[in-house]
Structure 1
Amino acid sequence: MERLNTKELVKKYGFRFTKSLGQNFLVDPTVVRDIIEGSNITKADHVIEIGPGVGTLTRALLEAAGQVTAVEIDSALIPILKEELKNYDNFRLIEGDVLKTDLKALTQGAPVKVVANLPYYVTTPILLRLLEEDFPWQSITIMIQKEVAMRLNAGPGTKDYGSLSVLISYYADTELIRLVTPVSFIPQPKVDSLVIRLDRRSQRRVAPKDEQLFFQLVRQSFAMRRKTLHNTLKPMGIDPVIMADSFAAAGIDPGRRGETLTIEEFARLSDEIKERLGHEENQ
């Protein structure tokens, strides 16, 4: 079968882009190449691709990986993908919303690598689902809005550092692969994109005594960025004496802002709060 590029495929099938789905298809073969190389995919890998579009990246994944399972929400793309990729026996196509798909069932418990050109509007929900569910991913290589990618990769004391940075750091190590400008897509988005890879850590970066409290503390610490921790953590409703004692025991100045704390400091403060809350409950 003749290999058509993205623009030719869109024209061949008379495909109409759906704005509400945030569809932007890759037209730059160098980006496809860099995603494949940057994701470290081999013939031993099972890849789950989210949002294959007309299959431009999918075809390259099929040639690099042992198995590719693509999840596509747009029913109009299903017949295109089936026709264009019908000669690949290592291809499986799932029609559905990745936020509602049973991903664990797709993997049958075996490790997988995730690759995706994610629509900007669902980047965070999809990432949170992949990270927080009991799902055996080894790496996640995604092309997302540059601003979001910088937040995923940010460290303490930088303008991009936030609760999402801490969450990503908890589960994974990150590596920026390349910048992608709007001319690499049809239709062209209004912002630059970045390809970033998340490599799952064999152990979580920290081991808080109460994971739920830890994440609540992190989220609240960034809720009002310009305020000190002393003020921004008040809505958690914890006794001020317990908070003061916890700060002191953790060696953290409550006059600091959340954006200056490392993930280790967040874990230490969380553990001190947990310990004092436990003592209070036992009295």
Structure 2
Amino acid sequence: MRHIPKTPQEVRHTPKKRFGQNFLHDTSVIRQIVDSIRLSRTDNLLEIGPGLGALTEPLLAEVDGMTVIELDRDLASQLKINIGVNSHLDFTIINDNAMHIDYRKLAETVGKGAFRVVGNLPYNISTPILFRLLEFGDVITDMHFMLQKEVVDRITAEPNSKEYGRLSVIMQYYCMAEYLLTVPKGAFNPPPKVTSAVFRLMPYQHKPITAQNEALFATIVRETFNHRRKTLRAIFKMVNLLPTLNESDFDSIGIASQARPESLLVADFVRLSDLVNQKQQANHLND
């Protein structure tokens, strides 16, 4: 593997709290992450938040080129010095906020097909970035991210578990989710207050089941899990955003009215959403 020497500027870089910076430095963990991604030379690799480049260099050794997005101007400049000077590499640095990128347009500009996305995301804004990327699932093959373990547990959770909730259902509606490995606090500098984990998301190009109204689906998932200790029938009676459903309504879609949100599969939420959508459309026609 190529070795890129550390410069004095890099050594002096102080992690910035406002960017949620915790830099990965454990080489054995880095190797596990890179191996778990299973890269091919021609993959269109995109790294979000490369930081000091601990993952960037071993990733770049596996592919013909890659694009990185780094918000911190100092770190973007350092990456340009450390890696960008190697002119034989196809290495592009974008100094911008990952939340502001049009990934569809970026994929067209790069011109190498769908992205394989990698990143050690700032934990304080990880969920918004994930939801942003879901909007561009058609130009993303898969995503490998490191987040706090608690969040990864929620994303990959199965029904009837305490971790299963809104994040589980929404992510698993759009993607296949897989827990890959646990990363201890000591693998970072400075060590975060929480244990981390690496997981894989593979956006469905053709979803196993599709809601008739995805905005309504998201609303129902959110509102039901806001009252996760109550039964579905009680929730639909008390939440103003949702219509009241009777016993025959629940029977018609094969879901028990006394069930609680955490027991429902993603497909159950879709059927529930479609039922509500049809009732709302019928009511609208009758008005």
Q: TM-score, normalised by structure 1?
A: 0.92
Q: Tell me the distance in 2 between the aligned counterparts of 1:235 and 1:70.
A: 44
What's 2:4 paired with?
3
Shift of residue 136, structure 1, vs aligned partner:
0.6
Q: Tell me the distance in 1 between the aligned counterparts of 2:31 and 2:82.
A: 19
Q: Tell me the distance in 1 between the aligned counterparts of 2:242 and 2:131.
A: 27
Aligned CA distance change for structure 1 residues 239 and 143 (closer, same or farther; 3 Å): closer
Q: C-alpha offsets along residues 126-159 of structure 1, whole Å, 9 cap, x if unaligned?
A: 0000012465100000011000000110011011
Shift of residue 243, structure 1, vs aligned partner:
5.0
Shift of residue 239, structure 1, vs aligned partner:
3.9
In the alignment, does 2:180 pair up with 1:165?
Answer: no
Shift of residue 67, structure 1, vs aligned partner:
2.4
Aligned CA distance change for structure 1 residues 73 and 46 (closer, same or farther; 3 Å): same
Q: C-alpha offsets along residues 85-115 of structure 1, whole Å, 9 cap, x if unaligned?
A: 0215211000011001222222117201000
Give the counterpart letter for 2:223 in structure 1: Q
Shift of residue 236, structure 1, vs aligned partner:
4.2
SS of residue in 2 equivalent to 1:155: coil
What's 1:19 paired with?
17
What's 2:100 paired with?
100
**In the TM superposition, what are the counterparts of 1:1-283 in structure 2 within 5 Å?**
3-4=4-5, 12-85=10-83, 86-87=85-86, 89-108=89-108, 110-133=113-136, 135-233=138-236, 234-240=238-244, 242=245, 244-283=247-286
Q: C-alpha offsets along residues 164-192 of structure 1, whole Å, 9 cap, x if unaligned?
A: 10111111112222110011010001111
Aligned CA distance change for structure 1 residues 61 and 262 (closer, same or farther; 3 Å): same
Q: Which runs of 5+ in 1 are unaligned?
A: none
SS of residue in 2 equivalent to 1:70: strand
Aligned CA distance change for structure 1 residues 103 and 68 (closer, same or farther; 3 Å): same
SS of residue in 2 equivalent to 1:64: coil
Q: Tell me the distance in 2 between the aligned counterparts of 1:201 and 1:275.
A: 25
Aligned CA distance change for structure 1 residues 2 and 274 (closer, same or farther; 3 Å): closer
Q: How many residues align?
A: 279
Give the counterpart letter for 2:71 in structure 1: I
SS of residue in 1 equivalent to 2:46: strand
After TM superposition, the structure 1 stretch with the greater mean CA deviation from structure 2, 100-109 or 222-231, is: 100-109
Q: Tell me the distance in 1 between the aligned counterparts of 2:163 and 2:7.
A: 38
Give the counterpart letter for 1:64 in structure 2: E
SS of residue in 2 equivalent to 1:99: helix
Q: Tell me the distance in 1 between the aligned counterparts of 2:120 and 2:246.
A: 43
Shift of residue 16, structure 1, vs aligned partner:
1.4
Shift of residue 238, structure 1, vs aligned partner:
3.9
Tell me if the contact between 1:151 and 1:160 (Cα under 8 Å) persists in the aligned partners: yes
Shift of residue 278, structure 1, vs aligned partner:
1.8
Tell me if the contact between 2:149 and 2:196 (Cα under 8 Å) persists in the aligned partners: yes
Tell me if the contact between 1:47 and 1:67 (Cα under 8 Å) persists in the aligned partners: yes
SS of residue in 2 equivalent to 1:278: helix
Q: Which runs of 5+ in 2 are unaligned?
A: none
Tell me if the contact between 1:141 and 1:197 (Cα under 8 Å) persists in the aligned partners: yes
After TM superposition, the structure 1 stretch with the greater mean CA deviation from structure 2, 208-217 or 20-29, is: 208-217
% identical aligned pairs: 34
Q: Tell me the distance in 1 between the aligned counterparts of 2:10 and 2:129.
A: 31
Q: Tell me the distance in 2 between the aligned counterparts of 1:151 and 1:272.
A: 27
Give the counterpart letter for 2:4 in structure 1: R
